[in-house]
Chain A
Amino acid sequence: MSADAPTFLGMPPFPEAAHEALGNEQLRHNLRRATGTIRDKRAQVIGELDDWEGLRTRAALIKDTALHDLDRHLVELEEQLVARGVTVHWARTAEEACMIVGDIAQSHDVDEVVKVKSMATQEIELNEALQARGIAAWETDLAELIVQLGHDLPSHILVPAIHRNRTEIRDIFRAEMGQVGRAAPEDLTDDPAQLAEASRLHLREKFLRARMAVSGANFAVAETGTLVVVESEGNGRMCLTLPEVLVSVVGIEKVVPTWDDLDVFLQLLPRSSTGERMNPYTSTWSGVTEGDGPQECHVVLLDNGRTRALADEVGRQALRCIRCSACLNICPVYERTGGHAYGSVYPGPIGAILNPLLKGVGHDEQVDSLPFASSLCGACYEVCPVKIDIPTVLVDLRAQVVDAHREDRRPHAEAAAMRAGAWAMGSSRRMALGQRASGLAGAVLGRVSRRANASGRQVLGWLPSPGSAWTRTRDLPVPPTESFRRWWKRTR
């Protein structure tokens, strides 16, 4: 059925894609409503905790130290999994990972698998790869189902169909469910409860029938060989429990050293992502349990650019990401453009750094445009539960993009920068955000790249911001670390 499913391949660079999205009123309305709701819920449940800041610091430190000893933890994880009956595979690339999963499916002679929502399997485009081998991959998360049935692309990490309203969803269900299984009831309305019921019935037969499931994992505990899946609907439990064979594709950065480390993450993740004290269902399992759940388990440990990101001194902190999507929900750029403009399964602020870090800069205009898809307002850093300093990484990546194009005759980077600049300056609110950003950029640059001009005044050698390619030939004064507007607000 996904033969005609679109992919992100060949998406235009961010400024063009964003421009198109900005013209879509429905999309902007859906997004504004959704992100606004989730932000309010989140603020409330975070307010219930005494020491949210302390938790963030602890989580960042756990992830950082885990990443520093990642080789040791991966080996331990493998040992623990193998000791509990799991077959462990290693995949350098998306192709290798897809090959491994496809081979397992074929060895069991299955022509369909059920899937739990997983960013890693979207990243490697597993569904398409399986489809090419004649294996249907059924998404079972409601939002993923909406995306899949709508022959659409995900636009948000957590709520991939956030760009669709209820009426659109009803129409998709009516038209498409019958094509691939149990049809939607004739009299289906756009009442969310009815839509959820239709998906319950449509998927139930698939859950009961499927012999193989594919999942990701939110966390992998090295010390105990435990995988953790955090979800809401129960589709995850269905996939993790009912089929005979379970394959989990796990990015190598998902490792946490100890079982006790989970306490911090199980507090941070639900509150930060769905704005709930706890998500409805969390499943943990340590290998094969006799007489309970799949009796054949595989884990595919995936690199696909993660070691490249890990080698980036400034950017490696992006691997702490627990995919909560709080940075998307707070981002003024995301709220206006939506997720598709980022051309990746990882949209929003985290996508703007993660994609270039995983793929490298300098060879794809689309990827190179992403670090400019931001006003550097810093809101993403403030909400991030693992304290990823996204603005600083963006600034650093901008410099990397400029460097990568230094030899170009064609002014790629400059063009991208100017387009992003024109867009960012398009309204006074954005301008205000930009000014906060230039204060931030000033603070960063003040540390790393000041040099004196002839008059002894501090100037910037280059400005890694929407004006970066420009400033290679023009010296600009260092932006003050506090913009005028902020100073005015503070001292008035």
Chain B
Amino acid sequence: MSARDEILTAVREAVRDAPRGQPPGPQPTVPPTDRSAMLERFAALAADYRATVIRCKASEVSVHVLKALRDARRVILPAGLPEVVVEAVSGRLGKDAVAADAAGHAELEGFDAVVTTCAAGIAATGTVVLDHGEGQGRRALTLLPDLHVCIVRSGQVVPDVPDAVRRLDPQRPQTWISGPSATSDIELSRVEGVHGPRTLVVLLVGDR
């Protein structure tokens, strides 16, 4: 018998007489009663895990992206980012300093920063979720550069994890990000910045 058949047979045998229950079904979600409190919470909890959080109006996005980029010299701007952002960044740094992608890992290592949109924000945990679609690029783009500026539209923020799970598409690769990379492996003292971007800036846009 193949390993597959043997394992499946053993599984069936093992639970043959076990009592059966009903799975509980999806956890009910409750729509937010107070949107502005929810956005406040999202901002506060993202900051609690050491992301830099900036709230701004839609018209101020480019200004704040430029501020957040500080002295970054080369920046990845994935396809699908708002045009105003692309124009502002390439206007300041020059066309050669920005790219929508890089050819290989080594070339990508030469970029200091990446600016993206996201697929969702989660208020109860201060998390941003990328599904690597429009404006976010393939996964490596948000991994190797040391600074990640993430634009979150206020309408994308949901109250809690179940709301996010419902609205995300499992067929897309996803990266859930809660603050910058961190470790607590040395005497459990938290250190930011091990392998992923050491600085995460969250721009929460709208509702202001």
Chain A contacts to B: CB under 8 angstroms: 30, 33-34, 37-38, 48, 58, 61-62, 64-68, 70-71, 74-75, 90-92, 96, 140-143, 146, 159, 161-162, 165-166, 169, 192-193, 195-197, 199-200, 203-204, 207-208, 221, 224, 226, 232-235, 237-238, 240-242, 252, 257-260, 262-264, 266-267, 274, 276-286, 289, 291-293, 301, 303, 307-308, 310-311, 313, 316
Contacts and interface: CB of A to CB of B under 8 A. Distances in A.
Nearest to B165: A263
Contact of B21 (A65, A237, A313): A65
Contacts of B191: 192-193, 195-196
Contacts of A308: 14
A11 to B, nearest CB: 24
A234 B143 contact: yes
B59 interface: no
Nearest to A224: B170
9 contacts: A30-B187, A68-B21, A75-B8, A166-B186, A193-B191, A235-B194, A262-B165, A263-B26, A316-B18
B180 interface: yes
Nearest to A291: B138
A233 B183 CA distance: 6
B103 interface: no
A208 B106 contact: yes
A260 B165 contact: yes
B181 A234 contact: yes
Contact of A159 (B3, B49, B109, B185): B185
A395 to B, nearest CB: 20
Given A235-B194, A280-B178, A259 B183 contact: no
Contact of A143 (B22, B109, B127, B185): B185
A34 B190 CA distance: 12
Interface string B1-37: 0111011101111110010111110110000000000
B11 A266 contact: no
Given A242-B140, A278-B161, 8 more contacts: A34-B187, A200-B195, A234-B197, A237-B196, A263-B26, A266-B176, A284-B174, A303-B7
Interface residues of B, number: 67
Interface residues of B: mostly helix, strand, loop or mixed? loop
Nearest to B10: A307
A279 B185 CA distance: 13
B23 to A, nearest CB: 4
B188 A34 contact: yes
Contacts of B184: 159, 232, 274
A38 B18 CA distance: 36
Contacts of A146: 185
A234 B189 CA distance: 17
B114 interface: no
Given A234-B195, A237-B175, A92 B6 contact: yes
